[in-house]
Structure formats: C-alpha cells, structure tokens
Structure 1
Amino acid sequence: MLFNPSREQVRQFFCGAWHKHTQNNVLTPIESMAVEWIVQHPEYHDELNRPDALEAEYTVEGGQTNPYLHLSMHLAISEQLSVDQPPGIRAAHDGLAQRIGAHEAAHEIMECLGEVVWEAQRLGKPFSNDTYLELIRQRSTRHGR
C-alpha cells in the first residue's frame, strides 16, 4: 500500500508535531523524527505556527522554499537511510556526512532526489535508483577534495 497524503494532511502532520513538541506532549516515533528536522530548521518555526499554515503558498518565483516539502524530503531520506534503500545510500550518505556533516549531507542527497524525481516525471519514466545513487556518489566525490 502506498502512503500518499494530501497537501493538507502533510501540513497538519508537521504543524501538529511541532505544536505537540512545543507543548511538551508525547510524540509518536515519526513525529519525533519530524521534530528533529524541524529543530534543525529554525527558519521554519514561524511558518509552522502560522494560523493560515494549511493555506499558505510558497512559490519559486517568490524565492520561497516550501518548508513542508523540504521537511518531507528530510523524512523520506531518513527512512531511506534507516533501511539502506536503495542499497548503498547509507554508505554514500555516511561518506558525505564525514566530510560535510550529516545535515548538509542530507541536503546534498535531497538535491539528487529532487533531480531524479523531476527527470522521471519530465520523461514519464520510472524512478531510477541507479541514477539517484550515482548522483549522490558524484556529490560525495566533489566534496572529497
């Protein structure tokens, strides 16, 4: 079964997890993982507290990063690393993290993930694990200097 939440559900999840954290309420394991990433992104704290958070728009043209997309990608990558899927991503991440830190390594992987997803959608082809890992390895090599 695929988990495909709506935009509103994603926003409710992150805002709810952040609210529970700020109120010192008990978090589920996935909420705890989300809060770990939210804490590392203080620039998103006000966004998650906005009364109109569920309706807010973020446009590339406006130079805005969508905090919900960004945090969702962090969670997706964390899950990939936890199960080493695609095989080899954990080793590629760890090598990159040793050179530039775990958070920056996650951001580098996020760029690769975004590129491969965009390319698959643009060409109407399936997601390529091989391309994804190769892009991560290229970034790891680039940062190895």
Structure 2
Amino acid sequence: MFNPSQHDVRRFFCEAYRKHKGNEILTPLEAIARDWIMEHPEYHEALRDVEEALAADYSVERGQTNPFLHLSMHLSITEQISIDQPPGIRGAFQLLAQRRGSEHEAHHEIMECLGEMIWNAQRSGMPPDATVYIDSVRRRAQH
C-alpha cells in the first residue's frame, strides 16, 4: 500500500505546479493534480517554493486551510469517482454535481462527507464506513 509522508505529498504538488509553470510533461497523476491546482489559484503561492511548503505549519490552531490536504482530498475523490469505489460514489457524485451545477462544488461537499467518515473512524477505532459515506453524499444531493 502506498503511504506517502506529509513531505512526499507537499513535494508532489509543488513539483506538479513547477512542471506546469515550466510547460514540462506531467505524469497522469500530476496532470490531475495540476487541474485541481488551477481550480485553486489561492494555493499557488504555497506551491511556489518546495522548502517553504515543507516548513509550513497548517495546524488547526493556526486557523489556516491546508492546501495540500485540500488538494489531496480532490485527488482521492477524483480517483474514487473514476473507479466507482466505494460502489455508488460515482452516481452520488453525478447527482450532487447536477443538483449543484458544479463538479467542483460537488467535490467540496463530498470532502465534508469524507472528512466526517474519517473523523468518525478515528474516534471510534473502527474502519471507515463506506455505506454511511455514500449515504451522506446522497443526502446532500437530495437537498
């Protein structure tokens, strides 16, 4: 199982951004990351310098959004949708995106569901519950 460190993740996004700015060839995963990076110009400054990115503190106490966590969640959700795993996420996403009129907005709502599922799993010590996750996304699509 691939388990990148915090620094690996930050280097990956900084490198994808650097390659994009330099018109270099991107790997398929870097191309997906680049697409999400371009959707979030507010993060470009954080991606410009890898050493600053590695040293940055995005702890909850500082009250800042962690651009690397946010972009990583976009990548995770993109992958989930592409392979429909957990089963039903693709359909729930499509319905939510249609209702919101925006795939990006749908991603952000799914992020909230994903974050809640992970938080509940960590709190309870149980594995993440994919059924509760999908149901949460579907409920959002119905409102």
Pairwise TM-score range, normalised by the shorter structure: over 0.9
- The alignment yields a C-alpha RMSD, in angstroms, of 0.8
**For the residues of structure 2 that align with 1:82 and 1:68, how far apart are their CA atoms?**
21
Aligned to 1:70: 70
- The aligned amino acid for 1:95 is L
CA distance in 1, matches of 2:133, 2:106: 14
Q: Which runs of 5+ in 1 are unaligned?
A: none
Match of 2:121 in 1: 120
Q: How far did 1:103 drift?
A: 0.1
Q: Counterparts of 1:97 and 1:49 in 2: how far apart (Å)?
A: 31
Q: 2 CA distance for matches of 1:53 and 1:129?
A: 32
- The 3-state SS of whatever aligns with 1:26 is coil
Task: Give 1:72's aligned amino acid.
Answer: S
Q: In 1, Cα distance between the equivalents of 2:9 and 2:98?
A: 31
Q: What is the CA deviation profile of residues 92-144 of structure 1, one whole-angstrom value per residue up to 9, with x for unaligned ones?
A: 100110121100000000000000000000000001110100110111112xx
Structure 2's unaligned 5+ residue stretches are none
Tell me the matched-pair count.
141
Alpha-carbon distance between aligned partners in 1 of 2:7 and 2:91, rounded to the nearest angstrom:
34
Confirm or deny that 1:81 pairs with 2:81: yes
Mapped to 1, the partners of 2:141 and 2:84 lie a distance apart of: 17
Correspondence 1:7 to 2:6: yes
Q: CA deviation at 1:60?
A: 2.2
Letter in 2 for 1:134: D
CA distance, structure 1, for counterparts of residue 34 and residue 56 of structure 2: 20
Task: Quote the residue 1:58 is aligned against.
Answer: 58
Alpha-carbon distance, 1:63 to partner: 2.0
Identical aligned residues as a percent:
57
The list of structure 1 runs, each at least 4 consecutive aligned residues, that deviate by more than 4 angstroms after superposition, is none
Between structures 1 and 2, the one with greater helix share = 2
In the alignment, does 2:29 pair up with 1:16?
Answer: no
Question: In structure 2, how many angstroms separate the alpha carbons of the residues matched to 1:86 and 1:105?
Answer: 17
In structure 2, what residue type is equivalent to 1:121? Q
